[in-house]
Amino acid sequence: MSFFDPHILPSDITPKAVFENRRNLIKAAAAGSFGMALAPWFSRQALAASPEKLAATLNAAYATKEELTPYKYVTGYNNFYEFGTDKADPAAYAESLQTRPWTVSIEGLVKKPMTLDIDALLKLAPMEERIYRMRCVEGWSMVIPWDGYSLSKLISKVEPLGSAKFVEFISLADRKQMPGIKSNIIDWPYREGLRMDEAMNPLTLLTFGLYGEVLPKQNGAPVRIVVPWKYGFKSAKSIVKIRFTEEMPKTSWSQFDAREYGFYSNVNPQVDHPRWSQASERRIGDAKGAFAPKIKTQMFNGYGDQVASLYSGMDLKKFY
């Protein structure tokens, strides 16, 4: 059975307003140099390429005995609206993304603002492989071996001021490379954010690869973050700017619909999405597709021992 199961409706896995807007996005993509007719070719190329290897050492403290999600699903079922709203669109269109040269600027409330190219970022700290459970809002989950190092190592280099309370992540928004930018789904560029203590938590990974290889373009190349105790959209992709702020940054999906997508977005089985229960999940890649057995969702995606103290005393139904 193909994973893209016919029993799953696009409207079930995509925000309603985005789903309704998809026709305009398709027209925009077709008008560009990477039209819909080339989608199957790009999808094959994205999965058939031989990515560069990363020398990453498995960190046993962040491993799991759970079965890994096969590479083809990790790289073929993605949310990356800069390349389209369907889960298969990023693999179809992301080949247009140019990941060299690439720089990331670190600015705002820091003593040492800097701009680093991707190669300097890669060499900033030893590369680790960490196996993280990942959970999306729509109820699907994966188990992925990510390659990178704790974001805290980069943060320490720039020495945030005491007034810095939040970290904002800004993704690339380039109409020439990203057909989805032609749509008006959100106010581009894509923005995400974390509280400073969340960003400094050792689990928060500045990520350059998966499965021991550089990040595929559809997975957020060349650099993204991974925050495994939060829903997947909090893990910003293709980052070009990291900004330290005193006030909570406005994030893209919270601006799109604050009722559905809160700033914190911690995995919480007790707080339902307005259109979905969050009490259970299904693993992507299961041979039964949409009929895969449900798994009970764990609080903080199973990382409570490492992060629950960050939210001590907070009403997590209010600060969702």
Instruction: Dump pLDDT digits (tens) for 193-214.
Output: 999 999 999 999 999 999 999 9
Provide the mean pLDDT of the chain.
87
What is the reported pLDDT for 49?
A: 53
pTM for this one?
Answer: 0.85
Considering only 23-32, 57-66, 142-151, 293-302, which range has the smallest mean pLDDT? 23-32
Q: What is the pLDDT of residues 109-150, one digit of tens each?
A: 999 999 999 999 999 999 999 999 999 999 999 999 999 999
Instruction: Tell me what the mean pLDDT of segment 94-103 comes to.
Output: 97
CA 67 to chain centroid, in Å, comes to 21
Task: Return the residue matching tokens 């026709």.
Answer: 23
Give the CATH class of 10-311: alpha beta
Mapping DSSP to helix (H, G, I), strand (E, B) and coil, where does residue 312 land?
Answer: coil
The alpha carbon dihedral of 119, 121, 122, 124 has a sign of positive
Q: Cβ neighbours of residue 19 under 8 Å, at least 6 residues apart?
A: 10, 11, 85
Domain limits of the chain?
A: 10-311
DSSP annotation string for 175-231: TTT-GGGGS-SSSSSPEEEEEHHHHHSTT-EEEEEETTEEPPGGGTTT-EEE-TTB-
CA distance 226 to 244: 18
pLDDT of 35 > 50? The answer is no
Q: Which ranges in the chain belong to alpha helices (H)?
A: 10-13, 16-31, 39-48, 71-74, 89-93, 118-123, 151-158, 196-200, 252-256, 304-307
Task: Specify the range with the lowest mean pLDDT, choosing from 73-82, 161-170, 288-297, 309-318.
Answer: 288-297
Task: Give the residue from 124, 121, 125, 144 showing the smallest Cα distance to 133.
Answer: 144
- Going 114 to 174 to 213 to 195, the CA torsion angle's sign is positive
- What is the model's pLDDT at position 31? 42
Question: Do residues 129 and 226 touch, judged by C-beta distance below 8 A?
Answer: no
What the block records as the tokens of 215 is 């990040």
Q: Could you read off the pLDDT of 220-270 as tens digits, one per residue?
A: 999 999 999 999 999 999 999 999 999 999 999 999 998 889 999 999 999
User: Ramachandran region of residue 313, left (φ > 0), alpha (ψ -120 to 50) or beta?
Assistant: left
Give the model's pLDDT for residue 21.
Answer: 43
Per-residue confidence at 272, pLDDT binned at 50, 70, 90?
very high
> How buried is residue 65: exposed, middle or buried, by Cβ count under 10 Å (0-12/13-18/19+)?
exposed
Stretch among 19-33, 60-74, 121-135, 178-192 having the lowest mean pLDDT: 19-33
